[in-house]
Amino acid sequence: MRLSATVLLLALISACAGEKPPSDGVDTGTGGPGPGDDADGDGKIGDDDCDNSDATTYVGAEELCDGVDNDCDGVVDNGANDGNQYYADNDGDGYGDGPPTTACEQPEGMVTDSSDCDDADGRVHPGALERCNDADDDCDGSVDEDVSSQTWYADTDGDGYGDPDTAIDACDAPAGAWVLDDSDCDDTNGDIHPTADEVCNDIDDDCNGLVDDGLPVETWYPDADGDTYGDPTGAVETCEEPAGDWVSDNTDCDDTDSAIHPLADEICDGLDNDCDTSIDEDAIDATYSYLDADGDSFGDPATYDLRCDGVSNSLDCDDARSHEPQVADVGSTAASPDGSVTAAWPTIQEAMDAALECVLVRKGNYTENLNFNGKNILVQSETGARSTVVDGSGASAPVVTFDSGETSGAELQGFTLLGGSGYSVETTTSRSCDSSSTCTDHYTSICGGGIYIDGSEPTLVDLNIRGNLVAIPADYISGTDYYYYFGFGGGICLQNATIMTEGVDVYENYAESGGGIYVDATASLSYNTGGVVGNTAVSGAGFYVDGGKAYLTNALVSFNDATTTGGGFMGIDATARLINVTAGKNDSPTGGGLYASGTTAMTAMNTIVSGSDTGAGVLVDSTATYLGSYDDVYGNTDGNYSGITDPTGTMRNRSVDPQYTNVTDDGNFLNDDWTLKATSTLLDSGNPAAAYDDVDGTDNEVGAYGGPNGGW
């Protein structure tokens, strides 16, 4: 209303003025009032009027809520008397209290209502819900009017959370520790309540129905044997190790034995010590042995390895059959022998007859004669030739016979064969004696005292063939019947066959032809790493190769004595090759060491021929040929060579003392040592080609013990 009157007053003044008052003759140049004029008519000029166009604005004027600095103090609307009254609302419930404040605009935190009876509690104000709390919640001057009781809960542990099983309804809290909260799950422990931190203790600390939730949980396993490895059964899951013997490992396979765990050494005890599900594998106390899968006490030769339950021998030819090998034991007293270890056959022949693949012979002396009868089986001794003897003196027959087409799968190994007298074959022919009668010629050939081979190809290994005698009666005539006798191969007689020997020694045998070994025109012999020693004959005391083939490698041919021809080696119309052979102390009037006759083609390399007391060292007659290289022919009484030009000095042939380690003429052939002394010039002087190098990689050592197989 005041503002409107002022406006009217100004309008009247302007109307009454009409025209401008007469000029006083002074022209201001602006057309407006000067600094000393009161243009708004408020009676104030100069510094007392901050707005000369507004009669309500001057120093000392009443401040109004109009957005103008009415009193010219530089502040708009300050202390205006026409503003509203406001009250502080400290609890923010929309109701104020306390002294009023007049202001043109509502200040922050203040309201126009002054009816709050407790401005410190937002739940207390006019219209609020009255609560059972001995207070005037709705500011109507009454306390707890129209309010029902509340439910109180005991808070025995004083954590501010009550036991839900202790409810009491009351407007006021009962005497003691009671609260309106009912969420405590253990009111005996102040550390257990809904806002508590969950800790690892197998307890629901925060009353959410879960134990140790939100904490890192680990699985623990019992370690009853204290080896720090746990039993995978009996696991528990907790966030800390349980009391007692528990570990986080679950790899123990036997928690009752502290010596059994994943890092234990495997030992031969039938247990899985290192828990890898294998028993006794790579055991630290294992030994190299052979697997005996069929439990017959004989090992499979292809299974040599570190093992706990193997056997030391490799004598099983079929480790899937407990009755192979068939066992022969001269001392067996089994009532019903079946060839098993506990019921062995008392004779080798019985075992051979029952065998499918092989025979194993226990050590001892067996008086019998053996015939393979076409079976390609292995017959071997358990302990070797020195302790396993087959004596064939009980019958007029070879000790062992192969004459039924046996192949190289028929193998004889590890025996001494003695006492054999040979296989006898008789043929007859008729002829005219004179114009009135017919004569009959009877020819009896006896062959193979130790071993007789005809039409077969057996394998002979590690044999000692000695003391076999192929004796023949004198020829005689009875009427018109003429009887002629021939004896061949005191040790071995080979007809119509091809064989290879390894480690076969032929000692002190006798036959008319071929005291040691006889090879006929239809046969071939490869003789390796063995000795033909001390044999006697009329012809060919050591070897008699009659039209066949003989290949000798690393052979000792010594002390063989023939009464007519061929002391050490005799070939007639034969093919002979001698590599690293020592032929020493062999005697015969014709060809003491080596004798080549007829169309024989003989070659010798890295070979020694020495010490023949009778007969030349090398005798070549008729149309035979001999080619020697890197040989040493020395000290033969009747000359080193006969029948050919002496090749000494050519083809690296020489004639020097071999310097044997120890050779005597004492009649004991077993105590002689035919190796070379360290001073011998024959060491490392054989054929230098790598194929002939000694086992130590040096150049060939001339004689029986040089070359790649010279270590026998």
Beta strands at 536-539 and 517-519: parallel, antiparallel or unpaired: unpaired
Confidence of residue 1 (pLDDT cuts 50, 70, 90): very low
pLDDT tens digit sequence for 170-192: 877 888 899 989 999 999 999 99
> Of 679, 668, 681, 673, which Cα lies nearest the Cα of 704?
673
- Please name the residue that has the structure tokens 């005890």: 269
pLDDT tens digit sequence for 96-150: 898 998 889 888 888 888 898 988 888 989 988 888 777 888 899 888 777 767 8
Order of strands across the sheet that contains 168-170: 168-170, 150-154, 178-179
Average pLDDT over residues 54-70: 86
Buried b (16+ CB within 10 A) or exposed e, 10-25: beeeeeeeeeeeeeee
Average pLDDT, the chain: 90
pLDDT in the model for residue 35? 59
| 275 against 75, higher pLDDT | 275
Phi-psi region of 120 (alpha: psi -120 to 50; beta: other; left: phi over 0): alpha
Amino acid at 105: E
Average pLDDT over residues 595-617: 98
User: Please, which residues have CB within 8 angstroms of residue 581's CB and are 6 or more apart in sequence?
Assistant: 552, 553, 554, 555, 556, 557, 604, 607, 608, 703, 704
pLDDT tens digit sequence for 298-323: 899 999 998 888 898 888 888 888 88
- Please name the residue that has the structure tokens 């966030």: 239
SS3 (DSSP) at 380? strand
| 215 against 640, higher pLDDT | 640
Domain that holds residue 537: 514-712
Residue 404 lies in a domain: no
Q: Has residue 616 got a pLDDT over 80?
A: yes
Confidence of residue 67 (pLDDT cuts 50, 70, 90): confident
Residue 694 lies in a domain: yes
pLDDT tens digit sequence for 321-369: 888 999 999 999 999 999 999 999 999 999 999 999 999 999 999 999 9
pLDDT tens digit sequence for 564-580: 999 999 999 999 999 99
Domain count, the chain: 1
Residue 527 lies in a domain: yes
Residue 550 lies in a domain: yes
SS3 (DSSP) at 605? strand
SS3 (DSSP) at 85? strand
Residue 702 lies in a domain: yes
User: Please, which residues have CB within 8 angstroms of residue 232's CB and are 6 or more apart in sequence?
Assistant: 221, 250, 251, 252
Average pLDDT over residues 359-386: 97
End-to-end alpha carbon distance in the chain: 147
List, as one string, the DSSP characters of 606-665. S-EEE--SSS-SEEE-TT-EEEEES-EEE--TT-SEESS---TTSTT-B-----EEE---
pLDDT in the model for residue 132? 74
Average pLDDT over residues 244-270: 93
Enter the DSSP assignment of 22: P
Prediction pTM value:
0.66
| 148 against 198, higher pLDDT | 198
SS3 (DSSP) at 637? coil
Neighbours of 237 (CB within 10 A): 9
Average pLDDT over residues 453-477: 96
> Of 614, 578, 620, which Cα lies nearest the Cα of 595?
620
Average pLDDT over residues 80-105: 87
Q: Has residue 486 got a pLDDT over 90?
A: yes
pLDDT in the model for residue 15? 38
List, as one string, the DSSP characters of 169-207. EESSPPSSSEES----S-TT-TT-STTSPP-SSSS-TTS
Residue 708 lies in a domain: yes
Whether the ω angle into residue 589 lies within 30 degrees of 0, i.e. cis, is no
SS3 (DSSP) at 528? strand
Give the tokens for residue 549.
């083939």
Distance CA 70, CA 42 (A): 12
Neighbours of 409 (CB within 10 A): 13
Distance CA 95, CA 91 (A): 8
Residue 592 and residue 618 in contact, taking contact as beta carbons nearer than 8 Å: no
Q: Has residue 517 got a pLDDT over 90?
A: yes
Average pLDDT over residues 57-77: 86
Helix (H) or strand (E) holding 539: strand 536-539
Q: Has residue 25 got a pLDDT over 50?
A: no
pLDDT tens digit sequence for 677-710: 999 999 999 999 999 999 999 999 999 999 999 9
pLDDT in the model for residue 586? 98
> Of 335, 483, 468, which Cα lies nearest the Cα of 397?
468
227 strand-pairing partners? none
% pLDDT > 70, the chain: 95
Confidence of residue 62 (pLDDT cuts 50, 70, 90): confident
Q: Has residue 32 got a pLDDT over 60?
A: no
Q: Using CA atoms of 274, 278, 284, 290 in order, give the dihedral in degrees to the nearest 10.
A: 180
Residue 447 and residue 395 in contact, taking contact as beta carbons nearer than 8 Å: no
Distance CA 560, CA 565 (A): 11
Residue 584 lies in a domain: yes
Q: How many CA atoms lie within 13 A of 510 on its CB side?
A: 10
Q: Has residue 162 got a pLDDT over 50?
A: yes
Q: Has residue 445 got a pLDDT over 50?
A: yes
SS3 (DSSP) at 79? coil
Residue 609 and residue 636 in contact, taking contact as beta carbons nearer than 8 Å: yes
Distance CA 326, CA 349 (A): 11
